[in-house]
Structure 1
Amino acid sequence: MINFIWAGLLIVGFVVGIITGNVEEVTNAAIESANTAVELALGLVGVMALWLGIMKIAEKSGLVEKLARGLKPITLKLFPDVPAEHPAMGAMVMNIAANILGLGNAATPLGLKAMQELQTLNPKKDTATNAMVTFLAINTSSVTLVPATSIAILASAGAKTPTEIIGPTIIATTVSTAVALIATRYLGKLPKYQINYDEDIEYEEAK
């Protein structure tokens, strides 16, 4: 879908350029933007290497695991349908902890592992469970305390205090996560989104 959106924007830009007689300006802007993108990407390398190195040290030192243990009481309440000692719970806790520290590379495989483990608890394999929906909502809301990528972009763009984004990020991620959890809890109670497993089992047996 995003490819169609970008293609549409490019086509509209060229069409408007032709109509207004500014094709040359559109071409120049495209070339300048490409140069800016390369410069920005090169500037990100050093800062991203620094932050990812720091986060990797946090991961290797056990900070992520300690944070995960601290989050466990919260996750038990967020996912009451998942047994405390089930592998899915451990993977979800580690995923959330990694996201909080900005370890996106480490969080992705943990998130996939969590979904695989949650599927083993799913009585209806073609429909997401409440735990799956809640976990996906938390990930989509982007629980982050250290926005390493944003800090790197600001630093490469010449910002004097790129780390000032941490405060607004904490506020934004708190609000987005709260909204996501409220939405999943509210929608999950609506009859339209509830699953009657007994009916599904009877239907499968009838087939």
Structure 2
Amino acid sequence: MNVIWLILLSVGIVFAVFTGNLEPFTQAVFDGAKSAVEISLFLLGIVSVWLGITRILEDSGLIYRIAHVFRPVLSRLFRNIPDDHPSLTAITLNILANLFGLGNAATPLGIKAMQELDTLNKDKGTITFEMMIFIVLNTASIQLIPFSVIGILAAYGAHNPAEIVLPVLIATAISAVAALFILFTFRKILK
């Protein structure tokens, strides 16, 4: 990947020199770097707030009540996970982070969920069907309110950054249902 970036940067510099646009090229590089840092700090703030909220939810015990609300849906999807297993809490937190469009905050929660799911794995080093289901749900990332995207659009001055809520919800829900349908279909075929 580093080689690709080096090639792209080198080609850009060569074209800027030959077309006489070295000054605008240099300005664009610094503007892009500034913008990247600003967006990174903005996203870091969102992730920090969400991880703080998840810590409060865990410490207060509220996450177990939330997990209990999600349990009927999760028990249909994850049939081989015991009711009191910690993976359900991690899966619930991951799904909640994704529902609120906080994919960056969902990543450590997803890693924790996979680690917890691996404790149920009898054949270490292979993926279980529950792990596959979780990967599909995590990747599809159904988003009720995509806070990160709305925040980025607002930071860049979008007139109505929240107008993406319904299209994002529809697109992510359809992708999750389709992916789960394909996963369960292949499982039935290959069984």
Q: TM-score w.r.t. structure 1 length?
A: 0.70
Structure label with greater radius of gyration: 1
CA contact (8 A) 1:14 1:23 kept: no
Does residue 145 (structure 1) correspond to residue 120 (structure 2)? The answer is no
Following TM superposition, by how much is the alpha carbon of 1:76 offset from its aligned partner in structure 2, in angstroms?
0.9
Identity %: 42
CA RMSD of aligned residues (A): 3.5
SS at match of 1:127: coil
CA contact (8 A) 1:143 1:177 kept: yes
2 CA distance for matches of 1:78 and 1:68?
14
SS at match of 2:87: helix
Following TM superposition, by how much is the alpha carbon of 1:164 offset from its aligned partner in structure 2, in angstroms?
2.0
Following TM superposition, by how much is the alpha carbon of 1:4 offset from its aligned partner in structure 2, in angstroms?
4.5
Alignment of 1:41-60 (within 5 A): 44=42, 52=49, 56=53, 60=57
Q: Deviations over 1:100-130 (max 9, x none)?
A: 2345576444322321221122122111111
Q: Deviations over 1:44-65 (max 9, x none)?
A: 48xx56x947x939x6588765
Partner of 2:154: 155
Q: Deviations over 1:132-161 (max 9, x none)?
A: 111012111122212111111111111232
Q: Would the alpha carbon gap of residues 119 and 10 (structure 1) be closer, same or farther in structure 2, given more than 3 Å must change?
A: same
Partner of 1:119: 118
CA contact (8 A) 1:65 1:94 kept: no
1 CA distance for matches of 2:150 and 2:61?
24
Number of equivalent positions? 186
Q: Deviations over 1:182-201 (max 9, x none)?
A: 2322333454xx7xxxxxxx
Q: Would the alpha carbon gap of residues 108 and 29 (structure 1) be closer, same or farther in structure 2, given more than 3 Å must change?
A: closer
Partner of 1:167: 166
CA contact (8 A) 1:142 1:177 kept: yes
2 CA distance for matches of 1:127 and 1:106?
26
Q: Deviations over 1:54-88 (max 9, x none)?
A: x939x658876554333211111111222233222
Does residue 181 (structure 1) correspond to residue 184 (structure 2)? The answer is no
Show structure 2 runs of 5+ residues with no match: none
The code of the aligned residue for 1:124 comes to D
Q: Would the alpha carbon gap of residues 160 and 66 (structure 1) be closer, same or farther in structure 2, given more than 3 Å must change?
A: farther
Following TM superposition, by how much is the alpha carbon of 1:131 offset from its aligned partner in structure 2, in angstroms?
0.6
